């Protein structure tokens, strides 16, 4: 989700009232601890009480393998206003894993405990520390020891993506193993992975027994999914008509993202354009959006919205862009 679930997107998703909190894109801790200026630059919600403009708290996510550097960075994040710290043990990116970060730590359960414990002991007791894990590097059974180590280190809750690192994002997901961890541990477990539809959510709930869920790509691919889940969980009550999505709603939704981009002072149209294309590609792959090929060749926002509007009315095609 790097590059798309930034502050403007968190603000937009938070405006639905469907989310109880958001998690930042991970900040990598490598050779030196991160200073406050990095947190304030990359997570501008910290300048607004650690919340989105619509009041959703933003948890700061750190990624790295050195306990001391992670602890020092967590302290800087808290001093910058972070309401909570999350530690990323789940990122499957090869570059990250080659540099002792993300899912590579799943091969070293006792290091997971050491890192969580270092961060937990360094930050104020009032600041929750959590961890995100996958089921394991190459074995789904690894989650039991890894989760136990994270909990022993002091994690307040765990988010578990129900795949191994070797799987990447390939199916299937193994939700029952998330449910087994929930039964074994005394801390909240948040289920994550492949919740693309409301039916996926219902199956995830049945197979995990969880009452907490994290959705990312699914919320982007299906703009009504978060509202449906929040309604089912009693987080908010929605007019059932709001669950009916018309493709013409994409235009005001994307324009609202520009509004939140401007709110944070980022007025670079090219970044908006790239973010839009990332978003709509997800919607094409997993949400049934049919017009991505028509807009993927656009070079500026004016052309993008012109072509999207025409495509929604059956007038703009990929051939027009090539021409």
Q: Can you list the domains of the chain with their CATH numbers?
A: 7-243 (3.20.20.70), 247-322 (no CATH)
Section 201-223 average pLDDT: 96
Say if residues 89 and 79 touch (Cβ distance below 8 Å).
Answer: no
Strand, coil or helix: 228:
helix
> Where is 162: in which H helix or E strand?
strand 158-164
Query: pLDDT-derived band of residue 270, with 50, 70 and 90 as boundaries?
Result: low
The mean pLDDT value of the chain amounts to 92
Strand, coil or helix: 249:
helix
CB atoms within 10 A of CB 186: 5
Query: Is the per-residue pLDDT at 269 higher than 50?
Result: yes
3-state DSSP percent of the chain in helix, strand and coil, to 5: 50, 10, 35
- β-pairing verdict for 58-63 and 22-23: parallel
Question: Smallest Cα–Cα separation from 45: which of 274, 263, 259?
Answer: 263
Q: What percent of the chain has pLDDT over 90?
A: 85
Q: Which residues of 94-110 are buried (b: 16+ CB within 10 A; e: fewer)?
A: eebbebebbbbbbebbe
Token duo for residue 99: 């540099």
Section 95-102 average pLDDT: 92
Report the half-sphere exposure of 257 (CA within 13 A, side-chain side). 24
Query: pLDDT-derived band of residue 107, with 50, 70 and 90 as boundaries?
Result: very high
**Is the bond preceding residue 229 a cis peptide, omega within 30 degrees?**
no
- Token pair 């307040």 in the structure block, residue: 156
Query: Is the per-residue pLDDT at 282 higher than 50?
Result: yes
Token duo for residue 172: 């299937």
Higher pLDDT, 297 or 322: 297
Query: Is the per-residue pLDDT at 268 higher than 60?
Result: no
Say if residues 149 and 109 touch (Cβ distance below 8 Å).
Answer: yes
Report the half-sphere exposure of 156 (CA within 13 A, side-chain side). 13
CA dihedral 301, 307, 313, 318 (to 10 degrees): -140
Residues 196, 250: Cα–Cα separation, whole Å: 18
Q: In terms of C-beta density within 10 A (0-12 exposed, 13-18 middle, 19 or more buried), how is residue 3 classed?
A: exposed
Report the half-sphere exposure of 61 (CA within 13 A, side-chain side). 22
Q: Which residues of 229-247 are buried (b: 16+ CB within 10 A; e: fewer)?
A: bbbeeeeeebeeeeeebee
Query: Is the per-residue pLDDT at 314 higher than 90?
Result: no
pLDDT for position 245: 80
Nearest 5 degrees, angle CA 223-CA 102-CA 57? 45
Q: Which residues are catalytic?
A: 91
């Amino acid at each position: 989700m790097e590059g798309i679930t930034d502050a403007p997107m968190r603000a937009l998703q938070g405006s639905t009232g469907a989310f109880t909190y958001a998690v930042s894109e991970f900040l990598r801790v490598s050779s030196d601890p991160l200073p406050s200026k990095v947190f304030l630059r990359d997570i501008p919600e910290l300048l607004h009480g650690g919340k989105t403009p619509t009041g959703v708290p933003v948890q700061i996510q750190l990624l790295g393998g050195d306990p001391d550097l992670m602890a020092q960075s967590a302290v800087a994040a808290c001093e910058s206003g972070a309401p909570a710290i999350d530690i990323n043990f789940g990122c499957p990116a090869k570059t990250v894993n080659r540099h002792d970060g993300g899912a590579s730590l799943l091969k070293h359960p006792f290091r997971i405990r050491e890192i969580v414990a270092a961060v937990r002991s360094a930050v104020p007791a009032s600041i929750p520390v959590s961890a995100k894990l996958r089921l394991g590097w190459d074995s789904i059974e690894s989650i039991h020891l890894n989760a136990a180590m994270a909990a022993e280190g002091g994690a307040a809750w765990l988010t578990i993506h129900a795949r191994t690192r070797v799987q990447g994002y390939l199916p299937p997901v193994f939700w029952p193993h998330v449910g087994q961890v929930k039964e074994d541990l005394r801390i909240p477990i948040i289920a994550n992975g492949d919740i693309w539809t409301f039916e996926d959510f219902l199956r995830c709930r049945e197979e995990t027994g969880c009452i907490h869920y994290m959705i990312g790509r699914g919320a982007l691919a299906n703009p009504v999914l978060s509202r449906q889940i929040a309604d089912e969980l009693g987080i908010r009550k929605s007019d059932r008509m709001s669950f009916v999505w018309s493709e013409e709603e994409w235009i005001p939704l994307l324009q609202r993202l520009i509004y939140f981009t401007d709110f944070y002072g980022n007025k670079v149209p090219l970044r908006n354009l790239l973010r839009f294309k990332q978003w709509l590609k997800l919607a094409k792959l997993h949400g049934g959006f049919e017009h991505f090929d028509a807009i993927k060749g656009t070079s500026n926002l004016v052309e993008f919205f012109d072509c999207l509007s025409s495509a929604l009315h059956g007038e703009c095609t990929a051939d027009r862009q090539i021409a």
